[in-house]
Amino acid sequence: MTALDRLGGPDDVAEVVAFLASDAARWITGQTLDASGGLFLGPRV
């Protein structure tokens, strides 16, 4: 499980894609965006 206690779905990824395609993300360049819901953070403590 992830730090958010659920697995992500297509809607979660679609929201990230929509943000990156919007004017709100116009200053984001050359970044790797991890949309994993905290999967690599490990279990919640």
Domain residue limits, the chain: 1-27
CB 12 within 8 A of CB 37: yes
Interval 1-45: pLDDT, tens: 677 788 889 999 999 999 999 999 999 998 988 888 777 765 656
Eight-state DSSP code of residue 40: G
The pTM of this model reads 0.66
Q: CB–CB of 20/33 below 8 Å?
A: yes
Q: Closest Cα to residue 8, out of 42, 44, 34?
A: 34
* Residue 28: exposure state from Cβ atoms within 10 A (0-12, 13-18, ≥19): exposed
